[in-house]
Amino acid sequence: MIHLHFSKTFSADLAKAGCALLLAEHETAGWHWYAHRVTLLRKKCIIVMEEASRYALIFVGLKKHDFAGFDQVLRSRIVAEASWLCDLPHPGPNEQLIAAVEQKCSSIICSPGLDRSVQAHIRQVADEMEYFVKYRYERLPETAEEEFALGCQLNDTLRKRGGDKDYFYPQRKWRESLLALLPQQVGPNVVNLADFKKGRKNV
């Protein structure tokens, strides 16, 4: 289950479009994402950030019907980006990953308000995005693939959460968490790393 937290700005966009999302009655142990809207080159741009990895999804130029059905828009993008980012073989591992991510996205509940730490990182992403859009590309992304490509650059920036000892790259951290959803492959063709190291010592 996704627990989506949203800013007042983004909440107003959803309400104006008639989006009716289920409000959470209390804090949950779901998959926490945070959403905020900024305006770049006179278009609404949505930044949705995953709490643990600080991985950011970018949405540009959404229409009224996209805001009205944002729950489905978000689920579809999370699944797509997970598949693109992990780039696993298929059929097989890629389909397993998609099924696992779809399970985590099976439902969405919402809460108003952003965590201060996440909010600060969303602002950083917004500033970095503005630089790329205005001074490097001189235009906004026009497809989901271009949004993902821009997101890859934004998510390849070192970040740090309160309580963490080290900095990390959101893109790497989210990918690692996604791969951890896959079932452990056990079979005659799988070599245990510890056994491999022992074998090398005996050579």
Q: What is the mean pLDDT of residues 112-121?
A: 93
- For the cut 90, the answer to whether the pLDDT of residue 145 exceeds it is yes
Separation of alpha carbons 11 and 140, rounded Å: 23
Query: What is the distance between the terminal CA atoms of the chain, rounded to a whole angstrom?
Result: 50
Domains of the chain, first to last: 2-201 (3.30.420)
- For the cut 60, the answer to whether the pLDDT of residue 187 exceeds it is no
Separation of alpha carbons 85 and 148, rounded Å: 9
| Contact assessment for residue 119 and residue 34, using Cβ atoms and an 8 Å cutoff | yes
Residue 70: pLDDT band with limits 50, 70, 90: very high
Q: What is the mean pLDDT of residues 117-146?
A: 96
Q: What is the mean pLDDT of residues 65-85?
A: 96
- Give the pTM: 0.87
